[in-house]
Structure 1
Amino acid sequence: MKCGILIIGSLLWDSETDGRVNWRNTRLDIGRRMPVKAPIYYGRRSRSRGNTFTMTLRSDDPSGVAILVPCQLEIETIDDLVVEAGALWKAEAPTSAPGAIGSGWGCVGALLGSDKARKLLAAHWSNHFREVGAKGLSIVKPDGHLDIGWPSGAAGEVLDIDIILATATVPDARLPTVDAVADAWIDQDGGHERYFLENVRHGIRTEADLEIWSHVERAAPCWLTTDTYSDVITMLRSEMLEA
C-alpha cells in the first residue's frame, strides 16, 4: 500500500532543524511530491518563531494547498506504518523519545483512503495510538485517525495513494484575522518572515495569502528590501496584479 506525508509547513523546506534533511532524503520520494487541496490556515501562534503564526489543519473545506510527498517504502503491515509515523514525529520533534508520535502541542494522525488500508490497519493503528499514550487533539480523533476529508490533487485529480500521515498541531482557540497574521510578521525583525515566504516558494498556500501580502506591502517592514526572497516577492506582486 502506498503511503504519503501531508506537509503544510517547514517539514518540506527546513534544512536547519536536526534530522529533517536526512528524513526527507531517506524516507520520502521528494521528486514525486504533489500539491493537494487541504484545509490549512495560519492559525497557531509560535513563541519559537517570534510570536508569528504557523500553519494548522482544521476540519473545514479544503481552501488551501498543501504538499503530499510519497514515502519511499510501501506499507505492508502495521509495523511499517508505525515506523513511518515515528519517523515523521522525530522530524517534527527531534528531542522526542524513540517511538513517540505526539506531545501536548501536536501529534501524528492517519487517514486511510482505501478499503484494503482500512481493513488491515484501522484497528491496529488505533490500538498503537492509545498504547503509546498519544492523545487526540485538533483534527486527530482519540483513535488516532485524522478528522479531515480525503484530499484531491490541486487540479481535482484522484490521488494514487492508500494512506496519509500528517502532523496536527493545536490551533489558537480563535482563528486569527488576516491583519493579525500579517502584523505578527511585520512587527518582528528576527527573520521569522521566512516561514511565510518559504511556504509560498514551495507551493504551500492559503486562501488568505494575498490579503496577508497586501497588508505587509502597505506596512513596508525593513525585511521587505532584502534580496533573499526577491523571487517570492516578485511572484506575490505578480499575483496581486492578476487578482
Structure 2
Amino acid sequence: MEMSGLVRAPIYYGRKSVKRGGTFTMTFRQEEPSGFARLVPCKRDVESIDDLVEEARALWKAEAPDSKVGKIAAGWGSVGVLFGNAGARERLASDWSERFKGSGGKALSVVTADGEFDIPWPNDLDGKPIELDIVLATATDPETSQPAAESVAEAWMKQAGGYETYFLQNVRHGIRTGDDLAIWRHIASNPPAWMNAADSYAEAFDVLRKEAQQLAAS
C-alpha cells in the first residue's frame, strides 16, 4: 500500500447494497474518467497467466471475503482486466479469457464476456495515460439508472449502522467521485446523528468542508 498512487478513473456511487443498509458503493461506468481511484501494485510481477489468475483471485477475495477459494466472480460482480499494450495482450489475453470463463466470470455493464474491462485506460493526475502492462480491478453490477447525488446522500443519512464510513474513508484516502461535494452538501444541510459522534471522521470532514468553501468562493 505504501507504493500506491492516485489515478483518474470513471468511478461513481452506482450500486445499492442491501448488506450496507441500502447505501451505495462504487462501481465503474463507460465514460471519461471523472473520479480518482487508488492504484496498488501487485505483490509480485505478473509474467504468466498463472501469476495473473493468482492476483485476480486475491483481489476477488478482498472484494468478497466469504467467497470460495479460487473464485473471481459472483452473480453481482467480477474481476476484470485492462491490457495496457499489445505485448501484454498477446501474451495473456487469450489465456485470461479461458480462465475467466472457467472460473465463473460473467459479462457486466463494463466487463466483456472475455473478462476485459470496457472502460478508458486510467490516466495519471496530469491527465496522461499511465504506463503499465496490466490493470486488475473489481466491477459490480450498477443500478439501472445512475443514482442522483441527493439519493446517495440520503441513504447514508438515514442509516444508523455505521455505513457512512465507506464514503468518508474513501474521501480520507483520496478516492473520489465527481459527485462528492454534491453528496456532502446534502448531508451537511441536515446533519445526521453520526456527524456529531464521529471524531474519527474529522479528517474527511475537513477535506470536504474546505473544498465546499473553495467552490463557494470561486
The two structures have a TM-score, normalised by structure 2, of: 0.95
The number of residue pairs the alignment matches comes to 214
Of the three residues 153, 169, 188, the one matched with 2:159 is: 188
1:10-25 pair list within 5 angstroms: none
Contact 2:74–2:104 (CA under 8 A) maintained in structure 1: no
Give unmatched runs, 5+ long, in structure 2: none
Contact 2:121–2:129 (CA under 8 A) maintained in structure 1: no
Distance in 2 between residues matched to 1:54 and 1:240, nearest whole Å? 22
Distance in 1 between residues matched to 2:186 and 2:64, nearest whole Å? 32
Of the three residues 168, 178, 186, the one matched with 2:139 is: 168
Distance in 2 between residues matched to 1:76 and 1:211, nearest whole Å? 43
SS at match of 1:70: coil
Match of residue 237 from structure 1? 209
What's the RMSD between the two structures over aligned residues? 1.0
The code of the aligned residue for 1:193 comes to E
Residue 121 of structure 2 is aligned to residue 150 of structure 1: yes
1:89-128 pair list within 5 angstroms: 89-128=60-99
Tell me how far 1:160 sits from its aligned partner: 3.1
Of the three residues 132, 136, 148, the one matched with 2:103 is: 132
SS at match of 1:62: coil
SS at match of 2:213: helix
Tell me how far 1:157 sits from its aligned partner: 3.7
The code of the aligned residue for 2:94 comes to A
Match of residue 64 from structure 1? 35
* Percentage of matched positions with identical amino acids: 51
Moved more, 160-169 or 131-140: 131-140
Contact 2:11–2:28 (CA under 8 A) maintained in structure 1: yes
The code of the aligned residue for 2:180 comes to D
Residue 190 of structure 2 is aligned to residue 219 of structure 1: yes
Match of residue 87 from structure 1? 58
Tell me how far 1:166 sits from its aligned partner: 0.6
Give unmatched runs, 5+ long, in structure 1: 1-29
The code of the aligned residue for 1:235 comes to V
